[in-house]
Amino acid sequence: MTENTIEKYLDNNNINIEKLINDYSGYIYVIVKNITKETLSNEDIEEIISDVFVVCWNNRFKINKNKLIKSYLAGITKNLIKLKYRKSNFNLNIDDFENSLINKFDINEIYENYEKNKMIELALEKMKKEDKEIFLLYYYNSRSIKEISEILNISISKVKTKLFRIRKKLKSELIKGGYDNGK
C-alpha cells in the first residue's frame, strides 16, 4: 500500500481536519511516545497531538498537496516536541525519574541533547538576524531552501552558503563545549 498524500484530505481546497484527526491521531501518539520515552505527561502528549492538527489547520492554504501526509505530520510533531522541551526549562533531577522505566543511559542522553540544544540556542543568539532566520526556517520550520529564498528575498545560493557557514559555526561551538564529531 502506498502512503497517502495530503491531497486525499482536501475538500474544495480546504483540509478535512476531522478525517485527518481520525486517521492519524494514533500515529502521532506513537511518534510522541517513541521520541519522548515517557518523559512527558499524558496531558503534554495530548497537547502536542492537538497542536499538530492546529498547525495543519493554520497552514491549510500553504500545504503542498502532493506531500506525503505521514512525513508532514511527523515533521510537525518532532518540531512541537523540540519546542515543548525548549519551553519547559527542562530540569533533570534523578528523583523525578524514580518511578519511571528510563534507564541511566536514556537520562544521560536526554540531558546531553538538552545541553547541546542550549549551546545551539546561545550560538544562535550571537548570530546576525538573517542567519538566525535562515537556520530556524530550515531546521525548525522544515522550509526548503527555495522557500527560504523566497521568504527572505535572497538567492538560493546565498541560502545554501549561509546554511553551510552556520552549520560550521555551530559545529565549532559544540566542539568548544566538549562535544566532538562522534557525539
For each successive 10 residues of the chain (183 residues), what is the average pLDDT?
Answer: 65 75 85 78 84 81 75 82 69 44 52 76 85 86 87 92 90 77 49
- 41 to each of 24, 33, 104, 118, 123, how far by Cα in Å? 20, 10, 20, 22, 30
* Distances, alpha carbon 72 to alpha carbons 5, 142, 158, 178, in Å: 9, 9, 26, 34
**Chain region(s) in the chain for CATH 1.10.1740:** 1-89
Contact between residue 166 and residue 134 where contact means Cβ atoms under 8 Å apart: yes
* CATH code for residues 1-89: 1.10.1740
Cell 544521560 maps to which residue?
108
Query: What's the CA gap between 116 and 70, in Å, rounded?
Result: 28
pLDDT for the residue 183: 43
Cα separation, 57 vs 163, whole angstroms: 29
Query: What's the pLDDT at 156?
Result: 93
Cell of 81: 516536541
Rounded to two decimals, the pTM is: 0.46
Please list the residue range(s) of the chain that carry CATH number 1.10.10.10. Answer: 95-183
Domain 95-183 has CATH 3.30.360.10: no
Q: Which residues of 92-104 are buried (b: 16+ CB within 10 A; e: fewer)?
A: eeeeebeeeeeee
